[in-house]
Amino acid sequence: MDDLPLNFMDSQVNSSFISDFSSFINEMSDGDYTNNFTTDQIFSTRDELIQWVRGIAFHLGFVVVTIRSDKATGQPGRKTYVLLGCERGGKYRKYKSDVQPSVSGTRKCDCPFKLRGKPISNGDGWMLKVMCGYHNHDVSHTLVGHPFVGRLKSYEQSLLVDMSKSQVKLANILLTLKENSECNVTTIKQIYNARYTYKRSLRDSRTELQHLMMLLDRDNYIHWSRCLHEFEVVSDLFWTHPDSVKLLNAFNIVFLMDTTYKTNKYRLPLLEIVGVTSTGLTFSAAFAFISSERESNFTWALERFRGLFMTSEGGPQVIVSDRDLALMNAIGSVFPNCYHLLCRFHIQKNVQAKCKMLVNSVDAWDVVMEAWENVMYCEDESYFNDCVDRLRHVCISWPLFFEYVNESWIIPYKKFFVKAWTNRVMHLGNTTSNRLSFSNISSNESLPRLCIDKEIDMVVNRFSEVDIAGKVTIKQKLHEIACPAMTSMVAPTHKVKTKGAQQKKGHRSERSTKRDPSYFEQVDAFFSSHSGHSMKSDTKSKRKCKESAISMLDQFHPICHPYIVNVVDVVADGHCGYRCIAALLGMGEESWPLIRHDLFKELSQWRDEYARLVGSYDHLEELRKSLLVESQAGANMDKWMTIPDMGYTIANRYNVILVCLSSRQNITIFPLRSRPPIDSRQHKLICIGHVHDSHFVQVHLKDGCPIPMVDIISSTHCYPEARAWSAFYANRMQTFVHLMGVNSSYVDLGMD
């Protein structure tokens, strides 16, 4: 090495530097598209310029979006231009301040590619200028999956709507769109989203249940529904088509019943009832969504089904079902005279699934299954006993198999296997084998005369006997019968996934080395902050730990801090007020739609009283309309919570005491119509907090703590029996006034 000349070493370094520099230049030139967008063409309009740029970018393998644009209005600094860039330009920005960073990453990589379009000086067109033609990422070989490029154009959306009305499958719709345009990169997920948006537009401002009832009433479906006793959440829904009623009355011999699952987003079991014609064909007789597979739910659905038979021949003669004990018991109670059979397909499937491991030979398994099928398809009881003996003889080498089928199937369900009713069923089938018309039920003469005069008289008599609350209830029910599209029922809540651990919101930084305070440390800090025996420095440190444990404590008045045990946040989706009330009432945060519909019903039933309370009917209608706004309204949904009038609606509907805390206003709201229970332990006091002027949270207070005063509205609009509420909490309200240092007198609701 010492003998090598210096110029040789310099040449080696220079050659290495030149090689690295040339590779860098090549990489830069590969990602530089300045020449592709450099043009002297004058575009007539701004849209034509953008269309030309996106067409070039599409063939190159990236997407161009509008970054910024402006229009000259005569004000200083305003110019007409449009700034275009790569969709991967810029950095990811959180749409909410408290959102955790996405684990899957982001497409944004701060790509510097930018183009600028502006009108020429004489105003006869637009010109394009390349500000930066370089990309700091590789371009895509295909743009499939890019949401911006896959957007449907206006004519494509029209085609999707027309094909959706014709019940065309979404896969065929996507295939048609791709055949019409070679450049189409739309995915099937975007087709699903587009169709959902179209169907959502048809529903307009109606809720899901209101839209469903409107469709059932429009198409003359026969339907029944029932709700939970506590709330107006639909628990069971039964419906059938008028043509199905004609079919089941014409062919009322054999019906098959089975329950399917996961057919809807609520995961409700769907009971499907299928009829059999005399020619061996099947038809859908009726359907029912049930909240659970219990005997009471099945009994309710079968009773509705029994009411559909209007001929003299009565209900079904034979019913086939699987081995669902609840359904079997319901069939026995609703149709005690019909022949009930078990579906042999389900039996065979269960036996094969549970017993195949007991027989360790394929050839032997075929012999065992042949003997088992003879048991299932026997004709009479004597032949049945012979088949059982033959099965026992075949299963000598596998006694566990025979023991299982004997105890689980043969003994308990012997009557379902023996076809002693065969002659009876065949006789009933032959009587209707040639009846392929609906003449016996299509004419009104053969049907019993349907009249509701007696029921109307009973409703009128009942209406005259009940009090004002009963009259309001009867009127509301009649209104829902006459106008099903205005129902106040709500859909059941979505069934959430229960697998996997719940993700907790972390407030620490990901690289923090400090541990969270233990539970006993937070409890000690809470009680020691009020103890006078601790040292001053120790008290200061523990008070700091306590304040860090209770979030958003600074959003409330300082005198409230010692009496707040905890502040629980809810999802900030525009329904936070409803979520807080639902959680504090013990219904669960996800039950917020029930709260909204309960409040709407409260305002509708007591319309005149709330009109006097809020000042006018116009103001009342604004409150009612705000309760019908869907979640797209965002945070504006909960503006009603700042109005004390809606707080009185909550207190009256649920007979609770509502305390509202914020940095600006603190108020207590008592029920205005009910008499308080004598035992104060039966009182329900809940507290919500308004923080950051745009969000509501749950607030848990200490027992017996001071509470704010009520407003003057309570003393002028409450019932005489409701004036006693304030007597229980007079001392606590006076203490709050003393702490606030306000020179105001106590508003006694008991004073005339």
Which residue in 206, 186, 207 sits closest to 195, CA to CA? 186
In a domain, 21, yes or no: no
Q: Count of domains in the chain? A: 5
Q: Say how far apart CA 62 and CA 149 lie, in whole Å.
A: 9
The H or E element spanning position 341 is strand 339-342
Q: Which domain holds residue 682?
A: 549-740
571, part of any domain: yes
pLDDT of residue 104: 59
Same domain, 72 and 128: yes
In a domain, 539, yes or no: no
Clarify whether residues 634 and 604 are in a common domain: yes
Q: Are residues 586 and 726 in the same domain?
A: yes
What is the SS3 assignment for 549?
helix
Are 380 and 353 found together in one domain? yes
The CATH number linked to 247 is 3.30.420
* Residue whose tokens read 């002297």: 40
Same domain, yes or no: 384 and 396: yes
Q: Are 402 and 408 in contact (CB under 8 A)?
A: no
Whole-number Å distance between alpha carbons of 641 and 663? 15
Residues 339 and 350 placed together within one structural domain of the fold: no
Contact present, 705 and 559 (Cβ < 8 Å): no
Buried b (16+ CB within 10 A) or exposed e, 131-151: ebbbbeeeeeeebeebeebbe
Statement to judge: residues 671 and 643 lie in one domain: yes
Answer yes or no: do 601 and 732 share one domain.
yes
Mean pLDDT (10-residue bins), the chain, 752 residues: 49 51 48 85 90 87 88 83 90 70 71 91 86 86 78 86 88 88 84 89 83 86 81 86 90 90 79 90 93 91 91 82 88 89 76 63 64 67 71 70 68 60 47 48 49 82 80 76 72 60 48 47 48 46 51 84 88 83 83 80 81 77 67 40 67 87 85 84 88 86 87 72 83 84 46 37
Tell me if 370 is assigned to some domain.
yes
Residues 736 and 649 in one domain: yes
CA-to-CA dists, residue 158 to 26, 152, 169, 178, 631, angstroms: 47, 10, 16, 15, 26
CATH number of the domain bearing residue 725:
3.90.70.80
The C-alpha atoms of residue 489 and residue 207 are separated, in whole angstroms, by: 9
The answer as to whether 541 is a domain residue is: no
Examine the fold and report which residue of 417, 441, 465 is the final residue of a domain before the chain moves on: 441
Domain match, 587 and 724 both:
yes
Task: At 31, list the tokens.
Answer: 């990602």
Query: Does 65 reside within a domain?
Result: yes
Q: pTM, whole model, 2 decimals?
A: 0.50
Is 481 contained in some domain? no
On whether both 385 and 405 belong to a single domain, the answer is yes
Q: State whether 611 and 672 are in the same domain.
A: yes
Residue 16 lies in a domain: no
Candidates 685, 486, 713, 714; CA nearest to 601 is: 486
Distance from C-alpha of 698 to C-alpha of 570, rounded to nearest angstrom: 8
